[in-house]
């Protein structure tokens, strides 16, 4: 089972809380991310690992990704051994990636499992494109902004403007789908979440990871196209189909292959919204 371009909501849940995981699987999340890393205390790692392996012995109702512990920690090897070959595993998320060799190493160990790399340090950002293009199994990259803030010593969003743009550009340059935004940590501030999503969408992000189910509808609304965007996309696709090449629309917009591709993506997202 794999995720698609229209996945917009990705819900993190601690791997050592099976009851919470079960609730997450019944939520509106497009993808549930079972976390074996930061959300799990060291003395709970083994339990979280075994509970997750039991969960993924059969395919669940929605795609499940697992964030394993960082390569180089005492827990990562055990995580990979426990998860290898499980039919319910949709993807692995690799935290704190700083070098493309980490992606290649994991792909060698689990060749049929889609991988996502999380960039959480200055070195990871500097290596963004090399990591994004490291292996065909890699399906996406994203930021881990809490650790990145600490590594860079920044306190507000202004200090993350360049890393955010960097990860969007690196993903596109490597032929990957647009990255999802990092979590918004205040689960009560839904207005702030919506505003943050709007800024992320303007930068080129698509969808967002979440910490609580109440954040999911806000994220989805923020990344679905507006009626005006849908109308423009329909006009673009229709004009391109009729002409077959670059052309100018009556409203002055110039249409080429890249614009048509973006319009198709908008209509895919619009069809998702219409189905809700």
Sign, CA torsion 212/213/214/216: positive
- The set of residues, in sequence order, having a beta carbon less than 8 Å from that of 30 and lying 6+ positions away, is 3, 6, 7, 8, 9, 10, 62, 63, 207
Task: Tokens for 236, please give them.
Answer: 């673009």
Tokens of 202: 């303007």
Q: Rounded to whole angstroms, what are the CA distances from 191 to 45, 184, 186, 199?
A: 35, 11, 10, 13
Residue written as tokens 């827990």?
75
Q: Confirm whether residue 228 is marked as ligand binding.
A: no
Instruction: State which H helix or E strand residue 81 sits in.
Output: helix 76-83
Q: How far apart are CA 142 and CA 255, in angstroms?
A: 30
67 marked as binding residue: yes
Q: Give the CA count within 13 Å in the CB-facing half-sphere of 143.
A: 31
Binding residues: 67, 120, 147
Binding residues for substrate: 67, 120
Binding residues for Mg(2+): 120, 147
């Amino acid at each position: 089972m794999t995720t698609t371009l229209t996945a917009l909501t990705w819900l993190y849940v601690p791997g050592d809380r099976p009851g919470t995981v079960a609730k997450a699987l019944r939520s509106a999340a497009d993808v549930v991310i079972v976390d074996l890393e930061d959300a799990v205390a060291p003395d709970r790692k083994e339990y979280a690992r075994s509970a997750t392996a039991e969960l993924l012995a059969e395919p669940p109702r929605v795609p499940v990704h697992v964030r394993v512990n960082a390569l180089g920690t005492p827990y990562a090897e055990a995580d990979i051994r426990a998860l290898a070959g499980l039919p319910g595993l949709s993807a692995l998320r690799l935290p704190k990636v700083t070098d493309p060799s980490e992606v290649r190493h994991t792909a060698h160990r689990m060749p049929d499992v889609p991988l996502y790399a999380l960039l959480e340090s200055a070195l990871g950002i500097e290596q963004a494109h090399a990591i994004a293009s490291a292996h065909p199994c890699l399906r996406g990259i994203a930021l881990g902004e809490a650790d990145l803030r600490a590594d860079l010593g920044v306190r507000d969003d202004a200090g993350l403007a360049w890393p955010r743009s960097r990860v969007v550009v690196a993903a596109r340059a490597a032929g990957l789908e647009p990255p999802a935004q990092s979590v918004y940590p205040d689960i009560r501030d839904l207005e702030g979440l919506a505003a943050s999503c709007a800024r992320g969408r303007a930068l080129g992000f698509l969808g967002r990871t979440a910490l609580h189910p109440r954040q999911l509808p806000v994220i989805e609304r923020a990344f679905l196209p507006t009626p005006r965007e849908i109308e423009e996309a329909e006009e673009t696709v229709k004009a391109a189909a009729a002409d077959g090449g670059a052309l100018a629309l009556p409203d002055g917009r110039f249409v080429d292959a890249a614009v048509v591709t973006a319009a198709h993506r908008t209509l895919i997202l619009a069809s998702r919204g219409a189905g809700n």
